[in-house]
Amino acid sequence: MTAPLRVAVLGAGTVGREVVRAFLERGEDLRSADGATLVLAGVAVRDVAKAVATGIPEALLTDAPAHLVADPDVDVVVELLGGEEPARTLIAASLGAGKAVVTANKHVIAHHGPELEGLARRTGATFRFEASVGGGIPVLGPLATELAANRIQRVRGILNGTTNFVLTAMAQEGRDYADILAAAQAAGYAEADPTADVEGHDAANKLVILARLAFGVWMDPATVALVDAGGPGHGLPGITGVSAGDVTLARADGEVIKLVATAERGLDGAIVASVLPLRLPAAAALACTDGVLNRIEIEAEPIGVVAFSGPGAGGAATSSAVLGDLVAIARGLGSTWAGLAPAGVPPAGAGS
C-alpha cells in the first residue's frame, strides 16, 4: 500500500483557506484509486488566532513556514503566500530538499522560472503550478501533454480579470477608467494598489509561463511589451491610458477594447510577446469575454485553434487548480512541464 503524502500549506488567505477547507470538509474527494492518500500535515499563517477563528484546528497551525518546509515528515509544500519573498526562498528550499511543490505564484515563477526548474530537475522534485495562469482554467497541463505533439505558433488571451472587469464596465456604462477602477476597488475586484494588474505586469507574468510551455523557453518578463504609442492606450502601460472616448470610438466601428496578451513565433524564430489594449471585432470570442472571465487561445499545427475559458481568479476557482495539482502528485504524474524538454533561452531579439 502506498504511504500517505503529508501536505503543508503555506498561507491561508483567499486561496489557501479554500485549499485547507477542502482537506477538512471533503478529504475523500482528494483520493484517487491509483495514487497515494493526501493528508494535511500543517498550515502556516501570520496570525494563528485569526486562523483558528475561521475554523482551522489550532493543532495544524504555525506561524513559522520555514519550520514546515524543513520538517522531514512533510512530503509536499503548497506555497500560497504570494509576493516574491519569502515565497521564492521557501519554494527553492522545498525543491532543494526534494519535496514536491505546488504554487499559484505567477510572479515567482515568471521571474525565477529558470532557477526553480533547474533545481527541481536536479533533485527530482515535482514542481506544479497550474494555478498560476487562468485561475481554475486547466491550460498549462494540456499545453504540456495533449498538445505536446503540435508546433505552437501563437498563444493569446485575456489573462487578467481585474482589467477585463474595468474595460467591460467602461463599455457597458460609458464611464471613464478612473471612475470604474475606484468602483472595482470598492467591490473587491481590484487591489488597493492595482498597479500590477492595470499596467499589465500580472498578465505579462502569466504570458511568460504560457510561453515556457508553448515554446520551450523562459522569457524575461521585462521583454514583454506593455506600451504601444499607436494603440488605444496612447503610449501608457496596460489599460491606464484607455479613455471612455476610446471605448466609444471603438463601439462606433463595431469593435471592443480588450487587454490582450500575445506570444508568437516571429519569422526569425524569436518569440515576440506583448500585453496591449487592442480593438477587436465585437463578434470575436475574445471581445465577448466579459467581466472577470479569462480566455486563452492557442494556435498550433496541426490542430488549428483551441481555446480555454472560465473563471480566472478567486479563491474557489484557483483552489480547484491547486487541488488538482495535489491529486496529480499523489498519482505520480510529475511536474507541470510533464515530458517536455528542459527550457532553453529565447533566441536573440526575443520580445523585441
Amino acid at 318: T
333: cell is: 504524474
Distances (CA, A) of 50 to 91, 258, 283: 25, 39, 47
What the block records as the C-alpha cell of 70 is 524543513
Q: What is the Cα gyration radius of the chain?
A: 20
C-alpha cell at 114: 529558470
- Tell me which of 99, 106, 206, 258 is the catalytic residue: 206
Question: Three-class SS string for 116-164?
Answer: HHHHHHHHCCCEECHHHCCCCCCCHHHHHCCCCCCEEEEEEEECCHHHH
Other beta carbons within 10 angstroms of residue 257's beta carbon come to 25
Distance between CA atoms of 283 and 302, rounded to whole angstroms? 25
Residue bearing cell 520580445: 351
The yes-or-no answer on residue 206 being catalytic is: yes
Q: Residue 88: in which H helix or E strand, if any?
A: helix 87-96
C-alpha cell at 290: 466579459
Cis preceding linkage at 86, omega within 30: yes
C-alpha to C-alpha distances, 224 to 3, 88, 156, 323, nearest whole angstrom: 44, 22, 13, 30
Q: How far apart are CA 170 and CA 323, in angstroms?
A: 35
Parallel/antiparallel/unpaired status of strands 304-311 and 293-301: antiparallel
- Could you give the residue numbers annotated as active site? 206
